[in-house]
Structure 1
Amino acid sequence: MRRRTRAKPQREPTIALINIVFLMLVFFMVAGTLAQPLDPALKLVRTQELEGRAPPDALVVHATGKLDYRGEVQEDAAAFVSGLSEEQRRIVRLVPDRDLPASELVALTRALQQAGARKVMLVTERALP
């Protein structure tokens, strides 16, 4: 009679796990170097002291609801649009004050469109992370 030998317990496939981790490491090393680093001698523009100004062809809306166009006070949206040429009515740029309530901004954009502005674009501040 022959004795049965016990089967050895299966070992975990640690080699496969090590290979996967190594491939992930290589992937992240390659992916992290795809973007070319900036030249150390390059000096970027500083905008801290830059005075914020609206574009010259934009309608400025203050927090109080007052409308300005090129330094002149405008009565309302309809009067503003009526003074524009057909070309200028294609795109009307609007620079709202940060403290202007959103409901007033929406009402103003609707009034501009009803007065004849085809497209109203909001000009905002862009912040870099």
Structure 2
Amino acid sequence: MRLAPAPRTKPEPTIALINVVFLMLVFFLVAGQVARPADREVTLALADVASARVPDDALVLRADGAILWRGVETSVDNFALAQINETEPLRILPDRNLPARDLIAVAAALRAATGNDVRLVTEKGLAP
């Protein structure tokens, strides 16, 4: 008695899967380079809640008192002049070793010069 041969199954189309994975890889490589990294010499303060992304136009305050905007050293007055027509809140990235009186002075000067809210960007801390 002769048995009928088993039906052959088609091989799975792996080329389509490889193409999708490759396109995803390229997308994430490109998308990962869109945001500019924060200044490497700044160690952000810890907080329980923080923004997921560092803003591009934030004012960076180093521990030594240097003020950076878009990677260039500036002053509070120059930054305030550039932001005078903005309606969005101003964002400050302070170094955790910056004295609080210096941070408060910069925030107060920005608030007085522009009339906008001033927000601090901090490193997201883990709740104990």
The TM-score with structure 1 as length reference comes to: 0.53
- Return the alpha-carbon distance in structure 2 between the equivalents of residues 70 and 128 of structure 1: 29
For residues 115 and 88 of structure 2, what CA distance do their matches in structure 1 show?
Answer: 6
- Distance in structure 2 (CA, Å) of the matches to 1:117 and 1:123: 19
SS across alignment from 1:86: coil
What is the Cα-based RMSD across aligned positions, in Å?
1.7
Higher alpha-carbon Rg: 1
Structure 2: gaps spanning 5 or more residues = 1-36, 39-53
The residue aligned with 1:126 is 124
Q: Percent identity?
A: 38
Alignment of 1:96-107 (within 5 A): 96-107=94-105
| Letter in structure 1 aligned against 2:103 | L
| TM norm structure 2 | 0.54
Name the count of aligned residue pairs.
76
- Does 2:35 align with 1:62? no
Q: What amino acid maps onto 2:72 in structure 1?
A: E
Q: Give a deviation string over 1:55-97, Cα, whole Å, max 9, x none.
A: 31100000011111111111x212211022512x531100000
Q: Distance in 2 between matches of 1:78 and 1:114?
A: 11
Supply the AA of the counterpart residue of 1:78: D
Structure 1 residues 24-39: aligned runs within 5 Å: none
C-alpha distance in structure 1 between counterparts of 2:84 and 2:112, whole Å: 16
Give 4+ residue runs of structure 1 displaced > 3 Å after superposition. Answer: none
SS of the aligned residue for 2:124 comes to coil
Q: Flag structure 1 segments of 5+ consecutive residues without an equivalent.
A: 1-51
In structure 2, the residue matched to 1:115 is 113
